[in-house]
Amino acid sequence: LLLVPLALLARRRRGRRTPPIRLLVVAGSGGHTTEILRLLSCLSESYSPRHYILADSDKMSEAKIRSFEQKRAETFSNSQFTLDRIPRSREVRQSWTSSAVTTLYSILYSLPLTYKLKPDLILCNGPGTCVPVCISALLLGLLGLKRAIIVYVESICRVETLSLSGKILYYFSDYFIVQWPDLKEKYPKSVYLGRIV
């Protein structure tokens, strides 16, 4: 008689679904968004809601994300996502001095947003926008408010050297994934999985 309740409890635990994982995705203009959406297409419905953050000057990524999410909603009926924008931390060919100021502003802007979204996992692949978002997530973790796992996937086009974002986040990410063996040799902390996009 004592074994029956234990067996029922064990069966109930096995029948539970895994809790949803709040995913924050940092999108970047052009190829970065295309690559990150390819990665997302492999994820199960457990990664919900998906919160996208993109630079305020990025005009193309929003349309790509909305199209991707519309197709995803046809497969998963409870598909949820949000879109938020933050100031761009660095423009192409911007000076290092002014980049420090704009990146700091972007961090201060993304800190309350990251706190509001409270992601379990942050997925990024190299746009400059990911640096302030990841730093704000690290600060929230240090303050004991919310710990997020940071997964950085270096872009497929980075064969021999890391991007600037990669060079910064190599030291702070929980998982740093590269797609070329030469990078794995140069950066031993990285994980080489072959071509994943």
Tell me the average pLDDT across 63-80: 88
CATH code (residue 109): 3.40.50
Look at residue 116 and tell me if it is in a domain. Answer: yes
CB atoms within 10 A of CB 140: 18
Q: Each residue of 112-127: pLDDT tens digit?
A: 999 999 999 999 988 7
pLDDT number for residue 133: 95
Look at residue 87 and tell me if it is in a domain. Answer: yes
**Domain around 115:** 47-173
Query: Closest Cα partner for 16 from 42, 43, 40, 46?
Result: 46
Structural domain tally of the chain? Answer: 1
Top-confidence residue, 89 or 192: 192
Look at residue 188 and tell me if it is in a domain. Answer: no
What CA–CA distance (Å, rounded) separates 52 from 122?
Answer: 10
Top-confidence residue, 182 or 30: 182
Look at residue 4 and tell me if it is in a domain. Answer: no
pLDDT number for residue 1: 39
3-state secondary structure 82-101: EEEEECCCCCCCCCHHHHHH
Look at residue 2 and tell me if it is in a domain. Answer: no
Look at residue 192 and tell me if it is in a domain. Answer: no
Look at residue 187 and tell me if it is in a domain. Answer: no
Look at residue 190 and tell me if it is in a domain. Answer: no
Q: What is the pTM of this model?
A: 0.85
Confidence of residue 2 (pLDDT cuts 50, 70, 90): very low
